[in-house]
Amino acid sequence: MLKHFLIHPKITEVLARAGHHSTILIADGNYPASTKKGPNAEVVCLNLSPGVINCGQALQAILSAVPIDFVNTMGVPADDSYAIKGEPPIWDSYRKILKDSGSKLLLEPIQKWDFYEKVNSSDHVLTIQTGDQALWANILLTLGCRES
């Protein structure tokens, strides 16, 4: 029986095959998951209905299961039609989740089009499509190394 919070069989399978520098995208409900993904990526759809599940819930489960080296959010271009003033509120939620997990990692935004390019990499192994309705909730995790 698994001891961490992640019990989804397909996500666990992909993470077990992944290695250092592999990336996992936790995508909000607006992300074009079928077209913006790496050539090696699997897509797991957990978007049951609007808001269910959300990106924060997926982040908590992933953090319980694997080591993470980097956490990148999708940066907001000032000229984007969905631009907001200041940081997206969801980012504070991510910071709290990271802190509560014991992580000292910081959120590092990558501008929207560079974010898509980074996701399109051969290192991208998994997209978890959520039903999150928060704008700019996409988060890209880079796997670290198991040390024990």
Task: Give tens-digit pLDDT for 60-74.
Answer: 999 999 999 999 999
Superfamily of domain 9-136 in CATH is: RbsD-like domain (3.40.1650.10)
Task: Give tens-digit pLDDT for 104-135.
Answer: 999 999 999 999 999 999 999 999 999 999 99
Looking at residue 1, its pLDDT comes to 58
**Where do the DSSP E strands lie in the chain?**
23-27, 42-45, 68-75, 107-111, 124-129, 139-143
Task: With CA atoms as reference, report the closest residue to 45 among 75, 70, 8.
Answer: 8
Looking at residue 49, its pLDDT comes to 96
Chain position carrying tokens 């409900």: 29
